[in-house]
Chains A and B, each alone.
Chain A
């Protein structure tokens, strides 16, 4: 895959021990996030209080700390290269 294409933030690895779909036992293989089952946890950031907010699929979109309904995706973990000019 080209480095330039968009990569969806990777779900946290610890939260899906019994996942049946995706890369399976091969640790190097990237699981497509579209295969995410109900156990996959994605991190979001609250738009109001800034707290980290782990969410599963089909879960209510709401901050656990303050109840705010606006959540943001995390920034990509991909390295971005710039020329300093």
Chain B
């Protein structure tokens, strides 16, 4: 390298690519921290710029089912992507069982445990009714009547009533409790919605409040045992209790990168493909052109199978390939630091694509609250 001229050369596009890749080696992970902030590189401007962000940011949908979505956010910082994830889990309101009034429970499952189990059952119903019309319930202040804050506009009432009896028509020699007794198993579908006030208008027909999965087992009974339970549902947030989380997890992972630096051919190529998930590595014959180009490593191998990277997104980055000495120095693993593959699985009350939009809305609202505070901070001093 020539003696320093006092100014650094601007980074090449390979340098810029390299900066965005987390290195994954046999026993270490390198280059994990973002470096694109001001004063980190001499003579380079890295102040956040709205126009630059607008130009580089991309959203790619991979799968958009009603209750399961996968998409990529490309060109965004980990802090923002993580904020979306945390908002999805903890700050989007849903309706869930909150208070359980047990009039009778002679089953073997204890009242507390039964109440807890009921709380975790995901419910669904008319989306507009739950999201827009239904309001939040407030715990009555000490001294206030216990129902002073309970209205049809913030509480949904449910009832669970069942008694187990002998089934006279059970087949002889049967040992199945479900045949021998009536109501031996109590499922989520046995919980009945009791509309209060004007709730009938919002939650009827397709929009009735019901468990999203009707077949969740709540309790088992034997003849003579009974349940008589009244339930109040309220709206709440995941930060209060996980039962109010609208997702059965929202997560992201970074886009894996696999770079083959030296040719991998024949039987080695097959073994190489087996080191990754199905579909990640493909096998292709070496073309005549490749076989003729000097220094490519393919000379004289025309027609043989070589390993090529097909779909790195499917890889789990198990690092299996790094355990085999024959691949040493032939492959580089990494992850793209600004490419987040999100996966959102809804519990049924929201559509998963709506959930992401709601998360963006929530973050925007938070920023609107923060902005005047930052402005005031500057004015005060």
A residues lining the B interface (CB < 8 Å): 50, 75, 77, 79-85
Contact, CB under 8 Å: B224 / A82: no
Contact, CB under 8 Å: A77 / B100: no
Q: Which of A50, A77, A79, A83 contacts B224 (CB 8 A)?
A: A50
Question: For residue A80, which residues in chain B have a CB less than 8 angstroms away from its CB?
Answer: 101-102, 111
- The distance from the CB of A10 to the nearest CB of chain B, in whole angstroms, is 14
A8–B1 CA distance with the chains assembled, in angstroms: 94
A50–B226 CA distance with the chains assembled, in angstroms: 13
Question: For residue A50, which residues in chain B have a CB less than 8 angstroms away from its CB?
Answer: 223-224
A80–B223 CA distance with the chains assembled, in angstroms: 23
A-B contact pairs, 12 of them (CB 8 A): A77-B103, A77-B104, A79-B101, A80-B102, A82-B100, A83-B98, A83-B99, A84-B98, A84-B99, A84-B115, A84-B231, A85-B243
A83–B231 CA distance with the chains assembled, in angstroms: 10
Question: For residue B115, which residues in chain A have a CB less than 8 angstroms away from its CB?
Answer: 82-84
Question: For residue B105, which residues in chain A have a CB less than 8 angstroms away from its CB?
Answer: 75
A85–B105 CA distance with the chains assembled, in angstroms: 18
Question: For residue B288, which residues in chain A have a CB less than 8 angstroms away from its CB?
Answer: none
Q: Which of A50, A80, A83, A84 has the most CB of B within 10 A?
A: A84
Contact, CB under 8 Å: A82 / B223: no
Question: For residue A79, which residues in chain B have a CB less than 8 angstroms away from its CB?
Answer: 101-103
Contact, CB under 8 Å: B106 / A82: no
Interface flag for B241 (CB, 8 Å): yes
Question: For residue A81, which residues in chain B have a CB less than 8 angstroms away from its CB?
Answer: 99-102
Chain A contact residues: helix, strand, loop or mixed: loop
- The distance from the CB of B226 to the nearest CB of chain A, in whole angstroms, is 10
- The distance from the CB of B291 to the nearest CB of chain A, in whole angstroms, is 68
Instruction: From known contacts A50-B223, A77-B103, infer whether A82 and B111 are also in contact, taking CB-CB under 8 Å.
Output: yes
A32–B103 CA distance with the chains assembled, in angstroms: 22
**Smallest CB gap from A52: residue in B:** B224
Question: For residue A83, which residues in chain B have a CB less than 8 angstroms away from its CB?
Answer: 98-100, 115, 119
Contact, CB under 8 Å: B241 / A85: yes
Interface flag for B63 (CB, 8 Å): no
Contact, CB under 8 Å: B119 / A84: yes
Interface residues of B in 225-249 (CB under 8 A from A): 231, 241, 243
Contact, CB under 8 Å: B99 / A82: yes
Q: Given contacts A80-B102, A83-B99, could you give 6 more A-B pairs where the C-beta distance is less than 8 Å?
A: A75-B106, A84-B96, A84-B99, A84-B116, A84-B243, A85-B243
- The distance from the CB of B347 to the nearest CB of chain A, in whole angstroms, is 16
- The distance from the CB of A49 to the nearest CB of chain B, in whole angstroms, is 10
- The distance from the CB of A66 to the nearest CB of chain B, in whole angstroms, is 14
- The distance from the CB of A72 to the nearest CB of chain B, in whole angstroms, is 10
Interface flag for B97 (CB, 8 Å): yes
Question: For residue B106, which residues in chain A have a CB less than 8 angstroms away from its CB?
Answer: 75
Contact, CB under 8 Å: B224 / A84: no
The 5 residue pairs across chains A and B that have the minimum distance between CB atoms: A84-B119, A82-B115, A82-B100, A84-B97, A84-B115
Contact, CB under 8 Å: B100 / A84: yes
Question: For residue B112, which residues in chain A have a CB less than 8 angstroms away from its CB?
Answer: 82
A84–B229 CA distance with the chains assembled, in angstroms: 12
A75–B104 CA distance with the chains assembled, in angstroms: 8
Interface flag for B118 (CB, 8 Å): yes
